Structure 1
Amino acid sequence: MTAFTRRDLLSAAAGAAAAASLPFNQPVHAATPPAGKQTAGWYRYKIGSIEVTVATDGVNRFKMAEDHVTNIKKDVVNAALAEVFMEKDMMTTPYNPIAINTGSKLAIIDTGTGESNYKKSNGTAGQFVTNLAAAGIDRNAVDVVIISHYHGDHMNGLLMDDNSLTYPNAEIAVPAKEHQFWMDDGEMSRAPKGRMEGNFKNVRRVFTPEV
């Protein structure tokens, strides 16, 4: 246990008095103006000779629907959110696609929410291409884009805001069964209203049957 002498206490009191006399209560005039934007978000590591770059696409926050988690009641979901100090009734979803450089090929796995969402969200999401560029990766140099599944946060980034190809020189690799399902007109006609119906429409917007 630390023991303090009378001299220690008097020294501390003198220091506090000196600090109180400093002009910390005066208005602050920063010499450098605020940057006004977030620092680029990316992280790079290696697995053997393969270089992996994780570049954030940002984060999506939205009001959670009653049936957002279909097999668990909403109050149970909220209790789980509270345990990790997250806001109840809100979904907060980060997106972190990756680039893989093998030395001979440059691949992207999933594409984030796209440039259109960057503008729509005021830069909160849709950051992937910007962060790739900050990490020194040119989207025109990508050889292959691998799409894991057909949700918007994984495939919408295939298109720029003007509907041009984000990766114009890349082969697009998709799961055959996934593509077959979402491109099936019969499946689309049976889709329930809401999220499923909307996802079918979005898939058709991004892809064509010729892909």
Structure 2
Amino acid sequence: MSKRMTMMALLCVCSAALAGPVPVAPAATRFPLGAFTLVPLRDMLNVVPNDGSVFGKDQTTAAVASVLTAAGASSQDVRLGVDALLVEEPGRTVLIDTGLGPKVGGVLMQSLAQAGIAPAKITDILITHSHGDHVGGLVTATGALAFPNATIRMSAPEWAFMQKNAAQTALVSAIAPKVVTFAPGSPVVPGIDAVALAGHTPGHSGYRITSRGAQLTDIGDTAHSSIVSLAKPGWTVGYDTDAMQGSATREKELKSLAASHQRIFAPHFPYPGIGTIVARDGGYAFVPAPH
């Protein structure tokens, strides 16, 4: 059996039987944005049980199941992609987030290879926030810098938050010489501005990418599920550090994105995660971009 067939077989077995991170096949899909090229990169899949611990913590599991079933999804769990976004622009190669990393089976590096990009070519890494499924790939399985030539950029409050996390002490030590912080909502690199989206974590940032009048926003973890988070944006999410602020930020940002029709990249939506947000039935829905 080929390596690809083995991985896909493992995915089928794990998806049916397990919760948590699940292996996926690597993927890299190109989208033009003005003079830039955007490439969503696959890393893993995260299977979250519908047990009241994450989605709809202030609701019943039956209510969450109803939303999932109405969308034609399994009522037993919520499937979340774990993906990153590569931005190729003149003079820079930017990576937004880095997935879970190789220690837990992430395939970001293989996806990057499919895109024809060597890790040493990455000039800047923009971090939406410091949760493990966004910063785990900053280092190799042995703890060395995975992208040795990249400046690692995150908001100042997020870096402070990460430094206080005892579970990330080794990672903080490894990346500290490369970290440059910015004020929430400020320009970060040419063509990319931060969008302050606090609530999920204290310094959570989205990134608005602009080239020749075309725009796309990487929304980070403003919305996790393309079904539940959009249909019921006011519901409490267990992943949010500040549940009330997280819900308020989610509702405000989704309303703005639906009104502007601006394209988004959502790292936890079904791959490749690029599309638009539309208002629907008192909530919102995701319309994937053709690819």
TM-score scaled to structure 2, two decimals?
A: 0.49
Residues 139-172 of structure 1 show CA distances to partners (whole Å, capped at 9, x for unaligned) of 1110010000111111111111111111111110
The answer to whether structure 1 residue 88 and structure 2 residue 75 are counterparts is yes
SS in 1 for 2:46: strand
Question: Could you tell me which amino acid in structure 2 is paired with residue 130 of structure 1?
Answer: Q
1:27-176 map, 5 Å: 36=5, 37=7, 40-69=26-55, 70-118=57-105, 126-176=106-156
- Among all aligned residue pairs of Structure 1 and Structure 2, give the percentage whose two residues are the same amino acid: 22
CA apart distance, 1:87: 2.2
1:203 pairs with 2:168: yes
Question: 2: distance between equivalents of 1:63 and 1:201?
Answer: 27
- In structure 1, what is the Cα distance between the partners aligned to 2:69 and 2:127? 33
Q: CA deviation at 1:117?
A: 1.3
Q: Which has the higher mean CA deviation after the structures are superposed, 49-58 or 69-78?
A: 69-78
Contact 1:45–1:53 (CA under 8 A) maintained in structure 2 = yes
Query: What secondary structure, in the 3-state scheme, does the structure 2 residue paired with 1:92 have?
Result: strand
2:243 is matched with none
Contact map agreement 1:67 1:74 (CA 8 A) in 2: no
Change (3 A) 1:202 1:44: farther
Match of 2:245 in 1: none
Partner residue, 2:190: none
What SS does the aligned partner of 1:174 have?
strand
Amino acid at match of 2:152: I
Consecutive aligned runs of 4 or more in structure 1 exceeding 6 Å deviation:
none
Match of 1:177 in 2: 157
- Residue 14 of structure 1 corresponds to none
Q: CA deviation at 1:108?
A: 0.2
Q: Distance in 2 between matches of 1:163 and 1:99?
A: 22
Deviation at 1:182, TM superposition (A): 3.4
Other structure's SS at 1:97 match: strand
What is the rounded CA distance, in whole Å, between the counterparts of 2:110 and 2:125 in structure 1?
A: 17
Which protein is bigger by CA-based radius of gyration? 1
Stretches of structure 2 that go unaligned for 5 or more consecutive residues are 9-24, 180-291
Aligned CA RMSD, in angstroms, stands at: 2.2
Unaligned runs of 5+ in 1: 1-32, 119-125, 185-199
2:171 alignment partner AA:
V
TM-superposed deviation, 1:40: 4.0
Aligned AA (1:207): V
Residues 100 and 135 of structure 2 are in contact (CA less than 8 Å); yes or no, is this contact kept in structure 1?
yes
CA distance in 1, matches of 2:44, 2:163: 29
Aligned residues: 157
Normalized per residue, which structure has more strand? Answer: 2
SS at match of 1:172: strand
Between the aligned partners of 1:73 and 1:179, the Cα distance in structure 2 is 35
